[in-house]
Amino acid sequence: MDAVTKVLEMGGYAMWVWPAYGAVAVGLIGLLLITLRSLKAREREFAAVRRNRPPAPGDAA
Amino acid sequence: MHRFANPTTFMRIANAVFPWAAGLAVVLFLAGLPIALVTSPPDYQQGDTVRLFYIHVPSAWISLLVYGSMAVSSAAFLIWRHPMANVSARAIAPMGATFTGLALITGMLWGQPMWGTFWVWDARLTSFLLLFFLYLGYIALADAFEDPERGDKAAAILAVVGSVNLPIIHFSVEWWNTLHQPSIVKMGGFTVDGSILLPLFLMLGAFTCYTVAVWVLRLRAELLAVKLRNARMSEVSLSRMPAE
């Protein structure tokens, strides 16, 4: 238990180290989620557009 | 180089790289984080705040790398009109803004305990803040015009002109007096101990692989946006045609 507390305390600098790691985690995971959401939304939109009209020669690329 | 301007070739390579980059990013984060946070020793002067080094430096490194890639892509778009170069720059810009923001935040959280202040208006910090605004400017300009081509061109010009800031950021710690510590890479080796280099390199690798993987996903999304725009434009022009 002492080892865990030691890591959490960060030698007295916990209030600087942990928020910084938290910010990076939020930034990286957030960016990934936003990217995946917009990719899925556009894939759905594109599929809908394709259903509504005959395929054009450029669509395959 | 022009071979890569073909979207099909470009995406074939990007899609082949994706699983490796994504897998490697996960492995490197899993290997690097426990060393960065737990097993690596505290610095003799900075104590455990040295652990901020392992996220601050990679964030700053990716910010500069991404800007370099965005500026080169934008130049290729302006000179050769390669649409893929523009798609690439548009896809990566928000990533650069995110990493620049993270470098600033982690730097401020490191500055307060070590320097006694969150912020100083010295050359390194100010030029890095300018980098953040360049990214925001690029993102805002790219979508600011009704005619997307005008927005693309204006944003690309800003990206190329803004690249003058990159050497300023790099050399700012040598040219001017600053609280910021100088580069750890010097001619003939590193200025820090191996126990600091291992977690640093693992995290640098993790951040770089993450960036490549997410960039490929963003490229796919950006290409679909272009296709959707083209599809809508052809629909509009079809609907305007007189009925036969």
B82-105 residues labelled b (16+ CB within 10 A) or e (exposed): bebbbbbbbbbbbbbbbbbbbbbb
- Using a CB-CB cut-off of 8 Å, the residues of chain B touching A56 are 231, 234
**pLDDT tens figures, B114-144:** 888 898 898 889 999 999 999 999 999 998 8
Residues 37-66 of B with CB under 8 A from A: 37-38, 42, 47-49, 51-52, 55-56, 59
Higher pLDDT, B217 or B40: B217
Show me where the domains of chain B are located: 22-39+47-174+193-232
Instruction: Express as a percent the part of chain B with pLDDT over 90.
Output: 62
* Cβ pair A31:B7 closer than 8 A: no
Find all residues with CB under 8 Å of A47, minimum gap 6, and list them. none
pLDDT in tens, B57-80: 999 999 999 999 999 999 999 999
- CB proximity B103 to A under 8 Å: no
Nearest CB neighbour to A13, from listed B98, B113, B224: B113
Would you call B101 an interface residue with chain A, using a CB distance cutoff of 8 Å? yes
Give the 3-state secondary structure of residue B231.
helix
Min CA distance, B187 vs chain A (Å)?
A: 31
Among residues A26, A36, A45, A37, the alpha carbon closest in space to that of B228 is found at: A45
Give B228 to chain A, closest Cα distance, Å.
6
Band the pLDDT of A61: cuts 50, 70, 90.
very low
pLDDT of residue B241: 62
A18 in contact with chain B, both atoms CB, cutoff 8 A: no
User: How far is Cα B55 from Cα B201, in angstroms, rounded to an integer?
Assistant: 11
The reported pLDDT for the residue numbered B148 is 84
B224, A42 in Cβ contact below 8 A? yes
pTM for the whole structure = 0.90
Average pLDDT for residues B53-59, to the nearest whole number?
95
Report pLDDT for B192. 76
Q: Which residue has the higher pLDDT, B243 or B89?
A: B89
Q: What is the percentage of chain B residues whose pLDDT exceeds 70?
A: 93
Dist CA B244 CA B103 (whole Å)? 61
Cα of B89 vs its chain's centroid, Å:
10
What is the SS3 string spanning B104-152? HHHHHHHHHHHHCCCCCCCHHHHHHHHHHHHHHHHHHHHCCCCCHHHHH
**Can you spell out the DSSP letters for B170-214?**
HHHHHHS--SS---SEETTEESS-HHHHHHHHHHHHHHHHHHHHH
Mean pLDDT of B4-11: 82
Using an 8 Å Cβ cutoff, are B59 and B225 in contact?
A: no
- Rounded CA-CA distance B239/B202 in Å is 56
Chain A residues touching B98 at Cβ < 8 A: 27-28, 30-31
Tokens of B238: 């079809």
Cβ neighbour number for residue B31 with a 10 Å cutoff: 16
The tokens describing A47, both together, are 């599929």
Does residue B85 surpass a pLDDT of 50? yes
Residue B19: is its pLDDT beyond 70?
A: yes
- Averaged pLDDT score across all residues of chain B: 89
B141 interface with A at CB cutoff 8 Å: no
Residues of chain B found within 8 Å of residue A16, distances taken between Cβ atoms = 49, 52, 109-110, 112-113
Give the C-alpha separation, B97 to B119, whole Å. Answer: 19
CA dihedral B86, B91, B96, B102 (to 10 degrees): 170
Residue B185 scores a pLDDT above 70: no
Distance of CA B33 to the CA centre of its chain: 21
The better pLDDT of the pair B177, B52 is held by: B52
CA distance B218 to A35: 6
The structure tokens listed for A13 are: 């600098």
pLDDT digits (tens, 9 = 90+) for A3-60: 888 888 888 898 999 999 999 999 999 999 999 999 999 999 999 888 876 655 555 5
In one-letter notation, the amino acid at residue B59 is S
Where do we find the tokens 């805002």? B140
Say yes or no to pLDDT of B240 above 70. no
